[in-house]
Structure 1
């Protein structure tokens, strides 16, 4: 195969940056990471050379928790007065947004969300579609658009019983059908089992979902203690905290991806660590819903794998990284917690591991060719000592120049190659205008 050779100004490796290094790609894999002069000496005939000598070559970012349909709510104004987390769900999110999703809205929100993610340097994501009236078939609508965008996506439907038990079963089937269709295939789209929370599903349903995931050989996801509401609810109903209930049900394990994990007690963190379950941290959306500040430093210290997610809220991954870097320092009054290097790992290699990928988030031979290039025209120099701070604190989506997924460029020199940005923006704006009128 001719492949692609990328000459970098800097190459971001697991050890740090290497000046004047690049990578060579054949098919969808990286086959070499070496100094540019060595790569150029043995460049294969007809190999495409991408000159990124004025840029930093980095692994693509991994968005561990996304609600693509959430873009529809950006800026929305409603009469509902949100006072705390349960109010956010019951008075706003469920009636005004989630319950009104249909296939057309799923398609258009997916397309615009993919535009936002590509431009932000996100190459892999896990999406949780919430929309009980959009099934069956909603995940296939998402899958079609994600394939067109050329992104690597794990697509799930948030199955629960808050509408009724029949809809709950339909949600489990929606996930199972997609898992079966793409499992063990080379498709960029994969499935995962997903449920909502303990307060929207009974214990038998939770066990059923877990057993179905085991039968399918896939991971399972849930929202966990996003605020004090779920712990208070389970303590009132069951006399136990959420993680204790999941542990009692035999649910916790290495194939569990728990999102949020904001209100966790130390013994719950110990259970998660002991069972090898994984977490995804959403620092910005946790602030927006008043959920609190997740004990991420404690989780990392216990060896728990923690990724980062946008939650479909602020979809700039640079903003999310900044949030993870800054919020914990303020909350703990300790400038040493959550160093930029740890945050960057959560956004790349560690985040990939959370989603079950061992060959993503690293620019090494044998790894999948998912990478981005980032401008280095910072007013202060980038070097081996400050590169993580420069990336996390002082770069933005406008600094992302090229985006490659699975060996294929989906953005080159700042121009999207797989999606029409202006058309996607126009159609989502029109849909949002009509959608918002329904709130009057």
Structure 2
């Protein structure tokens, strides 16, 4: 039994932060939350963690990432792509995804797990696309994630762009991961397809049925750039989400990531069918894709999670991206307040991924939390604490991370991973990739 005595406690973005409140953890679960003095009185024999100069808050849920993306950080590009379609066909597919092997995937997964732990992320959803790693690429990733202690939902992005055989192997890879992870508390699976312009209607429908049969949710990239919508209208006379709705795949277990270029009808399809959305503010800017209409979707009651997209994994930076870009797009400083951003980064992401009892510090929830430095240069109040955290904290302020009741970061040190060895290995594998 562990008592964490906090200077400030944020249990959830929709609740008032509490000063001198703490958390009791028993096994993998939060079993009590209350004033520090009450917890000390009620549980005198528990192990006490003194966090009185710190803030305790829920661990982040990175609802969309590509762990292998760290291999491309800093890669030289002779001719920058002119748009998102060129980014895919001339750069990302041939130079990154089609060149990945299992050694590269293992090195990238290890380093991405380090970056996530360092910034307070406790749960993530990953999409691997590496056709030349099949079969077994996703299982390689699983073994690394298991060792890290992170809660991971893993998937392989099935696509027909590499041919029918590779597409079917991608689907089977997801089912295999699901089967071996059924009893795993921290590792689980998801069915994943790429887009309407790399997957035929028949393949989408058949994959949906396979996912439904084994109880998996379905994730797709959707309207990340303008290309997909134009392509669908030219080929089918419909927008991407209209196609998915016609195929019967839009429901509460369907995740549409990106959703940058949506028609008004597509927004209503998302609302009506309870489709979950994941938002990647920094990555969308990096590829020139645009800025998703997230405030508008929130007004419609859509469940939205936040993701790094494998670009910048410091989730504090991702939150700041979400906080700022919508104010600029709408020219309205009142939209996307800090509480809304933190909600997407925690309980919103958990809901989007279909996770129960994750994303809050509350009795009965998994003990997934982070401890960060509370020594701001200006005073903390109940009213300003969440904004202070979103705007002026970063990975360097995270001292401790607990996942399912187990410490994975203590006193700024990641437990169970040799960080310097991981750095050296990633450097070697990135060099291999860049030289291909």
For this structure pair, what is the TM-score category when the shorter chain's length is used for normalisation? over 0.9
Cα deviation for residue 224 of structure 1 reads 0.4
Aligned residue for 2:133, secondary structure, equals: coil
Aligned residue for 2:5, secondary structure, equals: strand
* Post-superposition CA distance 1:167-214 (Å, at most 9, x none): 10000000011112213x243110010000000010000001111111
Q: Which of 349, 354, 357 is 1:356 aligned to? A: 354
The answer to which structure, 1 or 2, has the higher relative contact order (CA under 8 A, 6+ apart) is 2
1:40 is matched with which residue? 40
Q: How far apart in 1 are the matches of 2:393 and 2:271?
A: 33
CA RMSD across the alignment? 0.9
Q: Which of 233, 255, 258 is 1:257 aligned to? A: 255
Point out 4+ residue stretches in structure 1 off by more than 3 angstroms. Answer: none
Q: State how many pairs are aligned.
A: 434
TM-score (norm 1): 0.97
Q: Is the 8 A contact 1:375 1:400 kept in 2?
A: yes
Q: How far apart in 1 are the matches of 2:254 and 2:79?
A: 34
Unaligned residue ranges in structure 2 (runs of 5+): none
Q: Is the 8 A contact 1:80 1:91 kept in 2?
A: no
1:374 is matched with which residue? 372
Aligned residue for 1:51, secondary structure, equals: strand
Cα deviation for residue 87 of structure 1 reads 0.4
Q: How far apart in 2 are the matches of 1:194 and 1:312?
A: 16
Cα deviation for residue 80 of structure 1 reads 4.3
1:24 is matched with which residue? 24
Q: Is the 8 A contact 1:81 1:91 kept in 2?
A: no
Q: Is the 8 A contact 1:80 1:92 kept in 2?
A: no
Aligned residue for 1:69, secondary structure, equals: helix
Matches within 5 A, 1:405-420: 405-420=403-418
TM-score (norm 2): 0.98
Q: How far apart in 1 are the matches of 2:313 and 2:425?
A: 19
Cα deviation for residue 13 of structure 1 reads 2.2
1:284 is matched with which residue? 282
Moved more, 81-90 or 115-124: 81-90
Q: How far apart in 1 are the matches of 2:320 and 2:293?
A: 17
The verdict on how the C-alpha distance between 1:80 and 1:161 changes in structure 2, with shifts beyond 3 A counting, is farther
- The answer to whether structure 1 residue 218 and structure 2 residue 216 are counterparts is yes
* Post-superposition CA distance 1:356-393 (Å, at most 9, x none): 11311111110000000110111111211111210111
Cα deviation for residue 79 of structure 1 reads 2.9
2:169 is matched with which residue? 170
Q: Is the 8 A contact 1:225 1:262 kept in 2?
A: yes
Cα deviation for residue 48 of structure 1 reads 2.3
* Post-superposition CA distance 1:318-374 (Å, at most 9, x none): 111000000000011001111111000000111111111131111111000000011
2:308 is matched with which residue? 310
Q: How far apart in 1 are the matches of 2:158 and 2:295?
A: 30
Unaligned residue ranges in structure 1 (runs of 5+): none
Q: How far apart in 1 are the matches of 2:421 and 2:42?
A: 42
Moved more, 63-72 or 35-44: 35-44
